[in-house]
């Protein structure tokens, strides 16, 4: 695992965690580790509610800018816990989808550090994450059709925008596993790293540190701008909406002024937690 050395000064109490390990590998960075390795980190209803509380807390906590999600053992997440939910994933989903990620809009970015098996709902989660890093051994699949159900947590209309119709159809209709290198070639993930213990988390932390070094306000607004296009707005319409809705908020915040001042003074900016 990446060194866990930073202790943030939190304004809001950390949510209780039964199925996850919560840690802080760098300033502004939250690491959430799914911790049901014997069950391949499959998510049941209680687990899903825990994750929803965590992501909502991330969005509201000024000391945090970006989150990372990973898993313990040989799986990232193999989907819904069908042993307790024979009808599929619906009972473990909030309005934000499977793991409160597959349909999450949110304010702050979440990076997936995929350490192994990423099937079903696990794959639906990473399809809607902001960045994805994978170990070479990681495999991705939407195998729902093999057991008579459907990937209904938001992945189907999203994955076509990421990998295109033919590849999206291949994943959804065959259910076959896609290896990390192939997923990288398809554009499903950002980076493939080795299989050494903790290597994928370390790579995700490096991305997170780059994000957390920037203005928290600008990160939120930049992410919103990309989401507008992802959610189907045309380029001109999305730009106009961002200028009218988000730009005034950005300009009224302290971080924009601090960023410009620090640039002029040739020093590192001292960012404050976002109030957007």
Antiparallel, parallel or unpaired: β 20-26 and 110-114: unpaired
| Set 52, 61, 144, 199: catalytic member | 144
Beta-carbon neighbour count of residue 6 at 10 Å? 12
Q: Which of the residues 61, 124, 199, 224 is marked catalytic?
A: 124
134 flagged as catalytic: no
Active-site hit among 2, 26, 78, 80 = 80
Active site residue 80: yes
Q: Are 140 and 167 in contact (CB under 8 A)?
A: no
CB atoms within 10 A of CB 68: 27
Tokens of 124: 């639906």
- According to DSSP H, which parts of the chain are helical? 45-60, 121-127, 155-163, 165-174, 180-186, 199-212, 216-230, 235-241, 247-252, 254-264
Annotated catalytic residue: which of 97, 99, 106, 121?
121
Question: Is 182 marked active-site?
Answer: no
| Catalytic residue list contains 231 | no
Residue 33: phi, psi to the nearest 5?
Answer: -110, 115
Q: How many whole angstroms separate alpha carbon 177 and alpha carbon 188?
A: 13
Read off the DSSP letter of residue 245: I
Q: Which residues are catalytic?
A: 80, 121, 124, 144
């Amino acid at each position: 695992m990446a060194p866990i050395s930073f202790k943030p000064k939190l304004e809001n109490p950390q949510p209780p965690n039964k199925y996850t390990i919560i840690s802080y590998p760098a300033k502004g960075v939250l690491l959430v580790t799914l911790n049901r390795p014997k069950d391949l980190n499959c998510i049941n209803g209680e687990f899903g509610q825990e994750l929803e509380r965590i992501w909502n807390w991330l969005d509201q906590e000024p000391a945090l800018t970006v989150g990372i999600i990973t898993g313990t053992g040989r799986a990232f997440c193999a989907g819904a816990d069908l042993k307790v939910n024979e009808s599929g994933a619906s009972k473990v989903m909030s309005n934000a989808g499977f793991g409160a990620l597959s349909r999450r809009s949110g304010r702050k970015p979440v990076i997936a550090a995929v350490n192994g098996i990423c099937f079903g709902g696990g794959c639906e989660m990473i399809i809607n994450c902001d960045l994805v890093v994978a170990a070479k051994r990681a495999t991705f699949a939407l195998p729902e059709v093999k057991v008579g159900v459907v990937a209904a947590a938001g992945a189907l209309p999203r994955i076509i925008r990421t990998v295109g119709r033919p590849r999206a159809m291949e994943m959804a209709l065959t259910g076959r596993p896609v290896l990390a290198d192939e997923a990288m070639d398809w554009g499903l993930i950002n980076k493939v790293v080795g299989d050494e213990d903790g290597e994928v988390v370390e790579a995700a932390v490096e991305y997170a540190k780059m994000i957390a070094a920037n203005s928290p306000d600008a990160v939120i607004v930049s992410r919103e701008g990309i989401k507008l296009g992802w959610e189907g707005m045309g380029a001109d319409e999305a730009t106009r909406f961002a200028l009218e809705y988000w730009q005034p908020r950005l300009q009224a915040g302290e971080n924009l002024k601090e960023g410009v001042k620090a640039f002029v003074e040739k020093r590192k900016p001292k960012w404050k937690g976002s109030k957007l």
